[in-house]
């Protein structure tokens, strides 16, 4: 009878350990699944933000090209104006000398 009680106590102890390990494994699996969900969410957020940054970059590059073209155009028109002024000045000097 004592042997049977000892075996029963031993079985209960082993069973409790087994149940505790199973619960711990379940918690570990749940934690891993939770981490995977958070990681997927972070990756989605990262991709979304990267897309927004790329759109903003394209918009800024377009504005930069417009400003650059405008500056080049203004510079060319300014140079043409100065060139015409020089030609007029040269003609005035030539007409005064004649």
Tell me the pLDDT tens digit for each residue of 16-68: 888 888 888 888 888 899 999 999 999 999 999 999 999 999 999 999 999 99
First to last CA, the chain: 142
Full residue range of the structural domain in which residue 30 is found: 1-72
Spatial separation of the C-alpha atoms in residues 7 and 92, rounded to whole Å? 124
* Within a domain: 79: no
Strands (E), the chain: none
pLDDT for the residue numbered 56: 98
Most confident of 5-14, 57-66, 82-91: 57-66
* Within a domain: 17: yes
pLDDT for the residue numbered 85: 93
Number of structural domains in the chain: 1
* Within a domain: 85: no
Enter the tokens of residue 55: 């759109």
pLDDT for the residue numbered 64: 97
Say if residue 86 is exposed, middle or buried (CB neighbours under 10 Å; 0-12, 13-18, 19+).
exposed
Distances (CA, A) of 68 to 26, 36, 58: 62, 47, 15
pLDDT for the residue numbered 2: 72
């Amino acid at each position: 009878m004592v042997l049977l009680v000892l075996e029963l106590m031993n079985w209960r102890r082993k069973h409790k350990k087994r149940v505790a390990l199973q619960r711990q494994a379940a918690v570990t699996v749940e934690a891993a699944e939770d981490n995977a969900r958070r990681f997927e969410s972070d990756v989605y957020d990262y991709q979304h933000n990267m897309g927004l940054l790329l759109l903003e970059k394209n918009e800024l590059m377009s504005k930069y090209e417009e400003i650059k073209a405008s500056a080049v155009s203004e510079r060319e028109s300014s140079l043409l104006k100065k060139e015409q002024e020089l030609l007029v000045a040269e003609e005035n000097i030539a007409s005064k000398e004649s």
